[in-house]
Amino acid sequence: MLRLILNVVWLVLSGFWLFLAYTAAGIVACLLIVTIPFGIASFRIGLYALWPFGREAVRDPRAGAASAIGNVLWILLFGWWLVLGHVATAIALAITIIGLPLAWANLKLIPVSLLPLGSRIVDTDAYVPGSRVAAQV
C-alpha cells in the first residue's frame, strides 16, 4: 500500500515530467537508425521513472563492450541533461520532509539515466540479488 501511495505522489510531483523528458529523448534517438537502441533504452527508463517504487535497476551480467561504448555515446548525447533534470527535481522535492523519499528516488535514478545500456529494470519482489539473470518487468 505504501508503494502505491509513493508512486501516485511521485507521478503527480515529478514522474510524469521525467517520463516526458525520457520520451522526448527516445523520440529524438529514434530519428536515426543507428541510435534506435538509445531510443529503446530511453523509453524503458522513462517507464521506470514514471512508476519507480517497487522496481530497481540492476546491471545485466551479459552486457559487453558494445553496451559500454554505447553508454559513453549516451552520456554525451542524452545522459547529462537527463541527470540535470533528476538533480533539479531532487532539490525541489527535498525542500519538504514529505518530499525526501521522492528526492532520494530521483537520486536513485541517476545511475541508470547515465548508463542505460546493459541495465535492466526488475521488480524488487521478483529479483534475487546474486542471481545470474533477473526477471525483467
* Angle, CA of 84, 97 and 113, to the nearest 5°: 25
Q: Cell digits for 34?
A: 543507428
Looking at residue 100, its amino acid is: L
pLDDT attached to residue 30: 92
Query: By the 8 A CB rule, do 41 and 22 touch?
Result: no
pLDDT attached to residue 137: 45
Which secondary structure element, helix H or strand E, spans residue 118, and what is its range? none
> What contacts 123, CB < 8 A, 6 or more positions away?
54, 55, 135, 137
Q: What is the pTM of this model?
A: 0.79
> What contacts 114, CB < 8 A, 6 or more positions away?
71, 74, 75, 79, 83
Looking at residue 43, its amino acid is: F
Q: Of 66, 90, 70, give the one whose Cα is nearest residue 79.
A: 70
Which of the pair, 124 or 49, is modelled with greater confidence?
49
Q: Cell digits for 4?
A: 502505491
Confidence at 130, pLDDT banded by 50, 70, 90: low
pLDDT at 57 over 80: yes
Q: Cell digits for 1?
A: 500500500
Backbone angles phi, psi at 116, to 5 degrees: -80, -30
